[in-house]
Every structure is written in structure tokens, then in C-alpha cells.
Amino acid sequence: MSRISDAFGRARQEGRAAFIAYLTAGDPSPEATVGLARALESSGADVLELGVPFSDPIADGPVLQRSASRALEAGVTLTSVFALARRIRKETRLALVLFSYVNPLHRMGIDRAAAGARAAGFDGVLLTDVPPEESHALVPALRRAELDTIFLVSPTSPRERMREAARLSTGFLYVVSRRGTTGARAELPADLATTVRRARRVAAGLPLAIGFGISTPASAAKAAHLADGVVVGSALVAAAEAAGSGREAAVARLARRLSKACRRKG
């Protein structure tokens, strides 16, 4: 089993949802990213999605767009993301997911990128702009590299697309909570439970993780009762952005509250 499967299994045994955190690699610097990864682990994170900065992040809201811009301005590339992952792998036990648009992997070459991700210590790959029906050239290369492949489903996904996304996913199936881009929201959508039920029907026991819009302990607690994992990105990145040099402490404080909220009370 991969570190990702282990993380979900450990969370299940402890009566909680796995806490999956997101950081943009290299924002505002590689050193800061490593420090934030350590802070997240010490505050209860199980899995870290490490985002590859991209110049046209169509699925991202303003917080992650700014984060990607800062990282690109700092010169972060896919190669430097791999270097960062090696450091995080040495300094933490977090399961690592390479979170990217497909273009940076294509530019490097899919086989080379997959091998590089595995050698860097990544456990899985999530490509935000590759639907299941367009993944035939990608999944075999990732599987050969022994990487979990993680696909997204959303409230608008037809049943057959959900079924195919689940079939191609290992590690977990990512349930997008709402229509639109990433970003903190005050409330989870009213139809989220319906979306999760639809995903459960096709997941065949594969863990489900909910992301997009989860920003507070209250919304994390609601998601934790619906799914096996809770993904938080924009809220953590925004906390780091606002805190400046105090970013590690600020992210740790929020992460501790989110991690506690992932514990189910019955």
C-alpha cells in the first residue's frame, strides 16, 4: 500500500477523516515551503498536496493565483518542485501528492516527469485539467512509476464520468464540493451530500476526499462526516500570505483547528 492508503487507513482507525493540506511549491520561497510542510505535519496533516505553479491556473481562485505568481517569479519549475519534495520527504512522514496542471509534465515528458516524481518521494499525482476520458496517455506512465492516480469528480459530473474517474483513481477520489474555482467559502453547498452519495455509489470502497471551499473548522467538520478525507488549500495559503514572516505559526494554528475538526464525534 502507498503512503496515501496508509494515511487514510490510519485516520479511519482513529475515527477521523484524513486531513489533506495544500501548498504551492516555492511560495514565497523553497525554504518557506519546507518549513510550512513541517508545521503542517506537526499540526496534524496526513497528506500534503504540493502544487506546481502554473501561469494559467484556470481552476484556481485569487489566493492560489497569487501564490502561483509569487512562486513563478521566484523561478520555481517542475524540476525545483521535485527538489523541494526530496527535502520534505527527508524531513517529514507526510504522504505527498504532486498537484499540477498537465502542461508542466508534458513539457518535461510524461515518462520522465513520472519517474522524477517518484524519485523525489511523491506518492501520487493529481492533474486538475485532465478528465478521465483524456487520460489514456498519462495513467500508464504514472502507474509504471508506482504513483497513485487521483481524479476529480464534481456536482456536474455525469454518472459515467464519475464511474470512470473512480475506476482510474487509486489512493482516493477527489470530490470537488462546488461549481467554480478554488477558494475559501463561508458555507458548503447544500447539494454536497448528494454529490458524495453519487460518488460513493461508483467508488467501490475507494476513499473519498472533499475539497474546494473548505476554510473553517466548521466546514471541515461537516466534510469529515460526509467523506474519508478533507482537503484545505486556499485558507492555509491565505493564512501564510497574511502572516508574512510569522507564516509557520499562523499556518500551524489554523491547521491544528482543522485537524481537530476532522475528528468525528459520532
Ranges of each domain in the chain: 3-261
Catalytic residue chosen out of the listed positions 27, 41, 49, 148: 49
Nearest to 168 by CA among 198, 141, 196, 148: 148
Alpha helices in the chain (DSSP H): 3-13, 30-42, 62-73, 78-91, 102-108, 110-120, 139-144, 159-168, 192-203, 217-226, 234-243, 247-261
Q: What is the pTM of this model?
A: 0.95
Known catalytic membership, residue 60: yes
| pLDDT surpassing 60 at residue 232 | yes
d(C-alpha 137, C-alpha 130), whole Å: 11
Task: Give DSSP secondary structure letters for 129-166.
Answer: T--GGG-TTTHHHHHHTT-EEE-EE-TT--HHHHHHHH
Known catalytic membership, residue 129: no
Alpha carbon distance, N-terminus to C-terminus of the chain: 28
Catalytic residue chosen out of the listed positions 41, 46, 60, 123: 60
Under CATH, domain 3-261 is a member of which superfamily? Aldolase class I (3.20.20.70)
pLDDT of residue 201: 96
78-110: pLDDT as tens digits? 999 999 999 999 999 999 999 999 999 999 999
| pLDDT surpassing 80 at residue 168 | yes
What's the chain's average pLDDT?
94
Stretch 117-134: mean pLDDT: 96
